Amino acid sequence: MSLFMINFVAMVENDNIDGVKSVYRYGAEYGVWFGIYLTLMALAIIYGFSQYPLLLVAMAMFVATPAVIYPMMRRYRTHMHGFAPFASLWMLGLMIFLFGSLICGTVTYVWMQYIMPTFIYDQVVAAIEIYKTVPGDSAAEMVSIMETIIEHHALPSAMEVVVQMVMLTTFLGSLVSMALAFILGMRRIPPKNRFYIKK
């Protein structure tokens, strides 16, 4: 039994040995589709500032993210014939979020850097106008801070925004993946997908 476990783990860790792909390759493949999903969500957010219904679409996509990741993790567990421990499922989810966020980050960077280069500036100016309508010293202080940032050309660059976005997405993805891996671990494995080992 122990020899089987050692051999099977070696198969999982090595890519394309006897038709079994590594968890990292599964994460990369699923990450491509998830990257498209994240990119659509990012574009909905970007254009949602001028088309408010798109913000609702982006919010709905954000809430539905676990439902998008769960079938991918379940499919991987099925491909592994049920042998997918918590750590492997968690790593798979993390890789999906990482690769997906990198794809989304690349598209977002190109969009903000070349297609909508004034996006960050426009959003700060819009925020200033909103805070000016809010009474109170705290709102006036926020206006002063943002105007100072603009005057000193201290607005974050597109690359800085994207890096922060990728880091935040990966961090949140690790938490979502942990929860989904736990849920999958509680589910019973269908008999047809199990490995039966003779002693």
Question: Which pLDDT tens digit goes with each residue over 92-145?
Answer: 999 999 999 999 999 999 999 999 898 889 888 888 888 888 887 788 888 888
C-beta of residue 65 within 8 angstroms of C-beta of residue 176: yes
Cα gap 127→143, rounded to integer Å: 8
Q: Is residue 92 one of the residues assigned to a domain?
A: yes
Q: In the prediction, which pLDDT does 138 show?
A: 83
Could you read off the pLDDT tens digit of each residue along the chain, which spans 199 residues?
444 344 445 444 444 444 567 888 999 999 999 999 999 999 999 888 888 889 999 999 999 999 999 999 999 888 877 777 888 899 999 999 999 999 999 999 999 999 989 888 988 888 888 888 888 778 888 888 888 988 888 888 999 999 999 999 999 999 999 999 988 877 665 555 444 434 3
| 4 within some domain | no
Report if residue 166 sits inside a domain.
yes
Burial class (CB in 10 A: 0-12, 13-18, 19+), 129: exposed
Q: Is residue 1 part of a domain?
A: no
Q: What is the pLDDT of residue 109?
A: 94
Tokens encoding 52: 């408010």
> From CA 69, how far away is CA 34, in angstroms rounded?
8
- Listed in order, strand segments (DSSP E) in the chain are none
In the chain, the number of structural domains is: 1
Q: Give the Cα-Cα-Cα angle 35, 38, 42 (nearest 5 degrees).
A: 135
Asked if residue 91 belongs to a domain, the reply is: yes
CA angle at residue 58 from 55 to 63, to 5 degrees?
125
Q: How far is CA 106 from the centre of its chain?
A: 13
**In a domain? residue 199:** no
CA 25, CA 195: separation in Å to the nearest integer?
Answer: 22
Q: What is the pLDDT of residue 189?
A: 58
Residue positions counted in the chain: 199
38 falls within a domain: yes
Amino acid occupying residue 113: Q
Range of the domain at 43: 11-193
Q: Residue 12: its pLDDT value, please?
A: 47
- Are the C-beta atoms of 149 and 155 separated by less than 8 Å? yes
Q: Concatenate the DSSP letters of all residues of 50-105 into one string.
A: TSHHHHHHHHHHHHTHHHHHHHHHHHHHHHTTT---HHHHHHHHHHHHHHHHHHHH
Does 130 fall in a domain? Answer: yes
* 112, 39 contact by CB (below 8 A): no
Single pTM value for the model: 0.79
